[in-house]
Amino acid sequence: MARVIANAAVSLDGFVARPTDDPGPLFDFYENGSVEFFGDPERVFHVTQPSADYMGSIWSRVRASIIGRHLFDITDGWRGRPAVGDHVFVVTHTPPADWRWAEGAPFTFVTDGLESAVAQARSFAGDEFVAFTAGGLLGQALRLGLIDELSLQLVPVVLGTGVRFFGDYAGPEILFDNPRVVEGDRVTHLHYVLTA
């Protein structure tokens, strides 16, 4: 069964964006190296070799992504092309009525809850990975026991306020195994697996 991995660039104080949803310097490491990474001609990053190796080991196995309606609206659904993986499952109360990229876009709008979105994404991904967005939706998924792994791109900045990696999570204590640590340039990749 597919593993669900929460993935985001995060500040030292646990934020994934400023209060305005702007990532600020959190995404700077995507353009601080000489190694081309991604494969989509319109969204090529230039990272260091350690970052490319780490992200490639994860992103190459992502088949589905789960995001909330807020991120979908902010990005305009990446113009109908998934940011990572082959299909995006959007958790929402109401699907967009007039999204201009809807024709043929590999997006499913899930209106019957987060657990349904995870089940659909896992089914789609088979034995590969499901990428999960950070923020309030991640906090809900963690509380429901739906997250298997965490992939944090820790950036050496303190934002002070903004969108928290786990949203307003207030649930049980959860223990993860020791991290896999990969040092990039202006980023440290930390990969945690849920303790069995």
Q: How high is the pLDDT of residue 43?
A: 80
**What does the block give as tokens for 135?**
């923020």
Q: How far apart are CA 5 and CA 177, in angstroms?
A: 14
Write down all domains in the chain, each with its CATH number in brackets: 3-193 (3.40.430.10)
In which residue ranges of the chain is pLDDT below 70? 39-41
**Distance, CA of 185 to chain centre:** 20
Q: Which has the closest alpha carbon to 146: 165, 133, 157, 164?
A: 133
For the packed helices 136-143 and 114-125, what is the interaxial angle rounded to 10 degrees?
A: 80
Q: How high is the pLDDT of residue 38?
A: 77
